[in-house]
């Protein structure tokens, strides 16, 4: 293989050739560039030792994409560009494992390890010691990845052990998994088995992102990993921070392994990620028991969740001799760790009202330490969950904190319950406004539907003012509660009508702090359309969706007038978001709120300004009926760089008049504004 320096030189030359387009790129050059990007991926994601800067990487990657878009027949099935996802499947096809994927015998008691060792001695009719390979029991999703002649060809989930689901398109997006093995003479076949998981750090960020986007959060990293792999749209999988660690073999040909230590070493050489930092080769079972205890102590420092120790006879020859019992190998076992749990008492169950009116029951408990943190509250999710676990006020409950996951009540202890205890029922009326609560037949959650509920108002206002929405910096939650309780703020627009005297009338309100609040309110008026849409708090519209809507509609007015057809044209917007948006916009009180905000002086910057288009620097206003729908005409003007104004003034360059133009035409004529027809605009676009 050429050295990295030579490869880089070659790739840089190919890139230059693409950009100058002086001569055609050959298929061989395409393959060379693909090789180079593979190499860069391997150094970056697997070795954690990037060879080039991010910018340089992007250049090579985009070069490769460009060649592929011009020569689709050349695209290699394992091209590095496939990692970004894009393919969407109707369903997953099934695939049969060449060798079944077994399960491990397991126990929570480390003393059982001694029995395990004893059983092996008995089976092999010997009293000698065995060398054991110990490794973490990863708490993810097991996966088989198949390499044929060194090329990644397929990935199957475990499924029922015999047949799994073909999730190749999604596993390809996991950047640390090589699409080609790092070997000059790759084996004819190598089935790598291991675990797909999400690191604890990444899990936190993923849930923060989900929350911000108004999407459901995941209960734990395992669920998140499993959910991410089972996406039919591979772009979603590609966006999730998935990792893979190999630890076992399926079928293989043209390669040998002498021991489990050798499996780890060979995987590493081939570029397959392994986690060897938490493995140990032990010379007898006593050492294994000691390692189990060590790992239980230190497991919280690992970057991912583990639920125990896997112990394997190290020698592959001995493994073969030992074979299987039922559906588990005789040569391996799992010693699980007990999760951190604690007992405490539920003192009270109260209900929180969310921004969307969702009622969430929360248990207030006698504070107790579990897994190193003091816990006082635990969400009970909904009535179904409370019934399933039968949790009542006064109950002694077991709370568990597994890994970095938010502590939860796993069960109640009815044996410790007093005879007078009764099951908990969610209130029938909203705790804040006393209106009757509703439950949609398809949902587990109960909601308050009162549009004037003060609790919903407070949460909506908090969202509106939050940093990623309108960013009213000095407006803390406490202030919002005071404003609502005192009746000063009843809607978004009321923030903008607050006067200094109003603030000074409130308790403990100093002059300086009043000025600061008013300043930050004023400041927030200049915003972007994306932030504005996000701030409205429409269900399912998170930051990213808001950005897509803003890029499409460009002005508040067009967004407010959106039709279902047009919403469905916006990238990444489906039926659910479209319906929720239409429902919100269809409510007259919501439309009034938007109107009030505009009158209050909210200024939204143009979402997408095209400064190089044929109409750039010119302003337009449309009046009357044009030969094409007005919103299309507006979009075309903006796409060509033109600016749309909302009224006739001397600043207006062109009034575009259609049929029945009305009073605007007269005003434009009086001010000397140029009046044109739609065909003139088209001419300006075509012949600038
Ligand atoms: S070896 C016979 N090693 O545990 C199966 N499995 O109960 C041999 N697992 O489905 C598998 N960490 O998903 C092996 N270090 C590890 C493991 C591990 C987690 C999972 C695997 C398997 C399950 C078996």
CATH of the domain at 543: 1.10.150.20
289: its two tokens:
């028991």
Closest to 531 (Cα-Cα) out of 555, 548, 547: 547
Range(s) of the domain holding residue 489: 454-605
Tell me if 360 is assigned to some domain.
yes
Lookup: tokens for 78: 């394992």
Task: Specify the CATH number for the domain of residue 79.
Answer: 1.10.287.610
Q: Are 199 and 258 in contact (CB under 8 A)?
A: no
Q: Which of 133, 310, 331, 333 to mutate to test the pocket of ligand 1 (most atoms within 8 A of CB)?
A: 310
User: Is 609 a residue whose pLDDT tops 60?
Assistant: no
Position 606 scores a pLDDT of 65
Tell me: do 419 and 466 sit in the same domain: no
Answer yes or no: do 322 and 346 share one domain.
no
3-state secondary structure 397-433: EEEEECCCCCCEEEEECHHHCCCCCCCCCCCCECCCC
Written as six digits, the tokens of 204 are: 């936190």
Same domain for 356 and 321 = no
CA–CA–CA angle 28, 29, 33 (5° rounding): 120
pLDDT band at 21 (very low <50, low <70, confident <90, very high): low
Q: Could you tell me if 210 and 218 are in contact, meaning their C-beta atoms sit under 8 angstroms apart?
A: yes
Query: Which segments within 204-323 are labelled E, that is strand?
Result: 242-253, 280-282, 306-313
Residue that finishes a domain, picked among 605, 632, 657 = 605
Q: In what order do the strands lie in the sheet with 189-198?
A: 151-157, 141-148, 189-198, 242-253
CA of 605 to the centre of ligand 1 (A): 54
Distance CA 246, CA 268 (A): 9
What's the pLDDT band for 675 if we cut at 50, 70, 90? Answer: very high
- Residue 433 placed within a domain: no
Q: How far apart are CA 602 and CA 439, in angstroms?
A: 36
Strand order in the sheet with 654-657: 643-644, 619-623, 654-657, 674-676
Instruction: Average the pLDDT over each of 122-131, 311-320, 645-654 and give the range with the smallest value.
Output: 645-654
* 440-497 tens-digit pLDDT: 888 888 999 998 899 999 999 999 999 989 999 989 899 999 999 999 999 999 999 9
Clarify whether residues 69 and 163 are in a common domain. Answer: no
Task: Kindly state the DSSP code that residue 600 receives in the 8-state scheme.
Answer: T
pLDDT given for residue 629 in this prediction: 79
Residue 98 forms part of a structural domain: no
Quick one: pLDDT band at residue 372, thresholds 50, 70, 90? low
Q: Which residues contact 127 (CB under 8 A, 6 or more apart)?
A: 121
Minimum CA distance residue for ligand 1 atom 13? 142
The rounded Å distance from CA 104 to ligand 1 centre is 6
Stated pTM of the model: 0.64
Which residues in 428-525 belong to E strands, given as ranges? 437-439, 446-448
Mark residue 608 as left, alpha or beta (left: phi above 0; alpha: psi -120 to 50; beta: remaining).
beta
Q: Are 581 and 214 in contact (CB under 8 A)?
A: no
- Taking the centre of ligand 1 as the mean of its atom positions, its distance from the CA of residue 82, in whole angstroms, is 28
Residues 204 and 162 in one domain: yes
Known active-site residue 499: no
Among 97, 104, 136, 319, say which to mutate for ligand 1: greatest number of ligand atoms within 8 Å of CB.
Answer: 104
Find all residues with CB under 8 Å of 204, minimum gap 6, and list them: 404
Structure confidence at residue 41 (pLDDT) = 86
Going from the Cα of 266 to the center of ligand 1, the distance in angstroms, rounded, reads: 19
Token readout for 365 is: 């408990």
Same-domain status, 297 and 350: no
Asked if residue 190 lies in contact with residue 120, where contact means CB atoms within 8 angstroms, the answer is no
Q: How far is the CA of 151 from the centre of ligand 1 (A)?
A: 24
Q: End-to-end CA distance of the chain, in Å?
A: 54
pLDDT attached to residue 611:
65
Does the residue 546 lie in any domain? yes
How many folded domains does the chain comprise?
5
Q: Which of 138, 288, 304, 331 to mutate to test the pocket of ligand 1 (most atoms within 8 A of CB)?
A: 138
Model confidence over 559-573: pLDDT tens digits? 999 999 999 988 768
Q: Whose CA is nearest to atom 24 of ligand 1?
A: 103
Give the C-alpha separation, 30 to 349, whole Å.
Answer: 64
Residue identifier of the C-alpha nearest atom 1 of ligand 1: 248
Query: Which of 8, 137, 172, 643 is labelled catalytic?
Result: 137
Ligand 1 first shell, C-beta below 6 A: 102-104, 135, 137-138, 142, 158, 195, 247-248, 310, 328-329, 332
Query: Given pLDDT bands bounded at 50, 70 and 90, which one contains residue 635?
Result: confident
SS3 672: coil
Q: Residues 149, 226: one domain?
A: yes
One domain, residues 623 and 599 = no
Assess if residue 565 is contained within a domain: yes
Residues making up the chain, counted from first to last: 688
Give the model's pLDDT for residue 2.
Answer: 74
């Amino acid at each position: 293989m050429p050295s990295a320096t030579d490869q880089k030189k070659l790739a840089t030359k190919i890139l230059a050739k693409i950009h100058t387009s002086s001569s055609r790129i050959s298929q061989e050059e395409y393959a060379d560039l693909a090789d180079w990007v593979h190499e860069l991926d391997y150094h970056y994601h697997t070795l954690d030792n990037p060879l080039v800067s991010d910018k340089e990487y992007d250049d090579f990657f985009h070069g490769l994409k460009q060649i592929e878009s011009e020569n689709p027949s050349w695209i290699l099935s394992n091209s590095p560009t496939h990692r970004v996802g894009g393919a969407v499947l109707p369903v997953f096809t099934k695939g049969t494992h060449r060798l079944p994927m077994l399960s491990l015998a397991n126990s929570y008691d480390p003393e059982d390890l001694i029995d395990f060792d004893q059983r092996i001695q008995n089976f092999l009719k010997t009293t000698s010691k065995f060398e054991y390979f110990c490794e973490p029991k990863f708490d993810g999703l097991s996966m088989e990845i198949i390499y044929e002649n060194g090329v990644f060809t397929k990935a199957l989930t475990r499924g029922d052990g015999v047949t799994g689901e073909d999730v190749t398109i999604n596993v390809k997006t996991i950047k640390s998994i090589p699409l080609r093995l790092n070997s000059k003479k790759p084996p004819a076949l190598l089935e790598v088995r291991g675990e797909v998981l999400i690191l604890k750090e990444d899990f936190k960020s993923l849930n923060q992102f989900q929350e911000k986007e108004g999407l459901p959060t995941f209960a734990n990293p395992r669920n998140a990993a499993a959910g991410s792999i089972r996406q039919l749209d591979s772009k979603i999988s590609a966006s999730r921070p998935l990792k893979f660690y190999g630890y076992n073999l399926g079928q293989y040909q043209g390669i040998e392994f002498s021991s489990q230590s050798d499996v780890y070493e060979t995987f590493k050489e081939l570029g397959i990620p392994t986690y060897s930092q938490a493995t140990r080769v032990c010379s007898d079972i006593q050492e294994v028991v000691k390692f189990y205890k060590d790992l239980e102590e230190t497991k919280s420092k690992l970057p991912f969740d583990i639920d125990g120790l896997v112990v394997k006879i190290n020698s592959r020859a001995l493994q073969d001799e030992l074979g299987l019992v039922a559906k588990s190998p005789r040569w391996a076992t799992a010693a699980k760790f007990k999760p951190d749990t604690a007992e405490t008492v539920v003192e009270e169950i109260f209900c929180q009202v969310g921004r969307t009116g969702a009622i969430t029951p929360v248990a207030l408990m006698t504070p107790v330490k579990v897994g190193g943190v003091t816990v006082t509250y635990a969400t009970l999710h909904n009535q179904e969950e409370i019934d399933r676990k039968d949790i009542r006020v006064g109950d002694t409950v077991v709370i568990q904190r597994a890994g970095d996951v938010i502590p939860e009540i796993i069960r109640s202890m009815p044996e410790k319950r007093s005879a007078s205890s009764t099951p908990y029922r969610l209130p029938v009326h909203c705790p804040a406004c006393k209106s009757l609560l509703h439950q949609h037949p398809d949902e587990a959650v109960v909601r308050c539907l009162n549009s004037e509920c003060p609790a919903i108002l407070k949460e909506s206002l908090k969202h509106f003012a939050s940093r990623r929405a309108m960013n009213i910096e000095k407006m803390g939650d406490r202030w919002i509660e005071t404003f609502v309780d005192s009746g000063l703020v009843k809607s978004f627009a009321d923030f903008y009508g607050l006067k200094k005297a109003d603030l000074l009338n409130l308790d403990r309100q100093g002059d300086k702090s009043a000025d600061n609040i008013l300043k930050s309110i004023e400041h927030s008026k200049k915003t972007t359309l994306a932030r504005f849409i996000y701030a409205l708090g429409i269900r399912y519209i998170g930051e990213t969706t808001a950005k897509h809507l803003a890029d499409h509609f460009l002005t508040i007015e067009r967004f407010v007038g959106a039709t279902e057809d047009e919403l469905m044209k916006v990238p990444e917007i489906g039926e659910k978001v479209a319906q929720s948006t239409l429902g919100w916009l269809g409510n007259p009180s919501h439309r009034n709120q938007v109107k009030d905000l505009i009158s209050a002086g909210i200024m939204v910057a143009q979402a997408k300004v095209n400064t190089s288009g044929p109409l750039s620097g010119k302003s337009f206003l449309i009046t009357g009926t044009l030969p094409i729908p007005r919103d299309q005409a507006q979009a075309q003007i903006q796409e060509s760089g033109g600016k749309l104004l909302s009224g006739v003034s001397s600043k207006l360059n062109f009034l575009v008049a259609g049929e029945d133009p009305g009073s605007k035409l007269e005003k434009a004529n009086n001010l000397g504004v140029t009046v044109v027809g739609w065909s003139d605009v088209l001419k300006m676009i075509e012949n600038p």
